[in-house]
Amino acid sequence: MTPTIPRISIVTPSFNQGSFLEQAIQSVLSQAYPAIELIVMDGGSTDGSVDILNEYGPRLKHWVSQPDRGPADALTRGFTFATGDVLGVINADDFYLPGAFTRVAEEFAADPSAGVIAGHGYFAHASGELGQPTFSDRWSLTSFCYGACVLVQQATFFRRAAFERAGGFRQSGSLCWDMELWADLAKGGAKFKTIDAFLAAFRLHDESITGNAGLRARRRADARIVMAEMRGRPENQADRLWHLAHRLAKFSQHPLRTVRQRAFFASVLKRWSL
């Protein structure tokens, strides 16, 4: 009997990312995988994004261009149109690598108990040229609570059942909506599995949420809220020391990798870290 091929549903939140949106769309639709659906939730762009969406509309499961309350709101509404057994998110300025969906489907089939599959990726220039690799960590709740377990969001996929148990995306307005989802998936009992495969590209540019230096303090504050929640108490001085210890331990495992990444950030964003 031929095994059932899971449908993979991808939602793309977008707002004035017309320079990058077409590559994100093509990176989904060009996958050599037979069961794909793409949903694009545009927040009312005025930069030509709607023209791109009109062009690709017949090949999309659904798309809309109207104001929203941020990425989590757009994703929540977008996933109401998804029918897949496996779900993922690709931002409009990021893109998948060839063969990503086939590898993800194989991994889920090989491990029916896995609720989350996280792969690796590449940081990319604004042009789309691939730069330094970025790696998802092996899942550890303790390390997550101290900022030392990071999943490459663009290369992370989750089963619908796990997503529904987690309650979907929070509507907190946090810039760390992905980190919130990982926390809720873990609380819902999902098994996380990290695979040694490069699945997506994370584009760095000044207009992205991650690349915007003005949002840096808020991103870090939002992340600390999630970590405190998972520890079950507010951060104290001991937690700050443990945070440093976990980060130093992580650095000691791959110092050259970290230095190369930081050098790449400096060359692209003109600063040493995200």
Report whether pLDDT(266) > 50.
yes
The reported pLDDT for the residue numbered 3 is 58
The reported pLDDT for the residue numbered 214 is 81
d(CA 66, CA 85): 27
Q: Could you report the per-residue pLDDT of 157-177, keeping only the tens digit for each?
A: 999 999 999 999 999 999 999
**Which token pair is 118?**
């996280």
Q: What angle do CA 256, 261, 267 make, to 5 degrees?
A: 125
Q: What is the pTM of this model?
A: 0.95
Mean pLDDT of 151-155: 98
Q: Could you report the per-residue pLDDT of 74-118, keeping only the tens digit for each?
A: 999 999 999 999 999 999 999 999 999 999 999 999 999 999 999
What contacts 214, CB < 8 A, 6 or more positions away? none
Report whether pLDDT(143) > 70.
yes
The reported pLDDT for the residue numbered 54 is 97
Mean pLDDT of 35-39: 98
Q: Could you report the per-residue pLDDT of 15-28, keeping only the tens digit for each?
A: 999 999 999 999 99
Residue-wise over 222-251: b if at least 16 C-beta within 10 A, else e?
bbbbbbeebbeeeeeeebeebbeebeeebe
Report whether pLDDT(2) > 80.
no
Contact 190, 163 (CB under 8 A): no
pLDDT band for position 134 (cuts 50, 70, 90): very high
Q: Could you report the per-residue pLDDT of 191-219, keeping only the tens digit for each?
A: 999 999 999 999 998 877 777 878 889 99
Q: What is the DSSP code (8-state) at residue 271?
A: S
Q: Could you report the per-residue pLDDT of 42-78, keeping only the tens digit for each?
A: 999 999 999 999 999 999 999 999 999 999 999 999 9
Report whether pLDDT(4) > 90.
no
Q: What is the DSSP code (8-state) at residue 70?
A: S
Mean pLDDT of 30-35: 97
Pairing of strands 86-89, 156-159: antiparallel
Length of the chain: 274
Domains defined along the chain, listed by start: 8-269 (3.90.550.10)
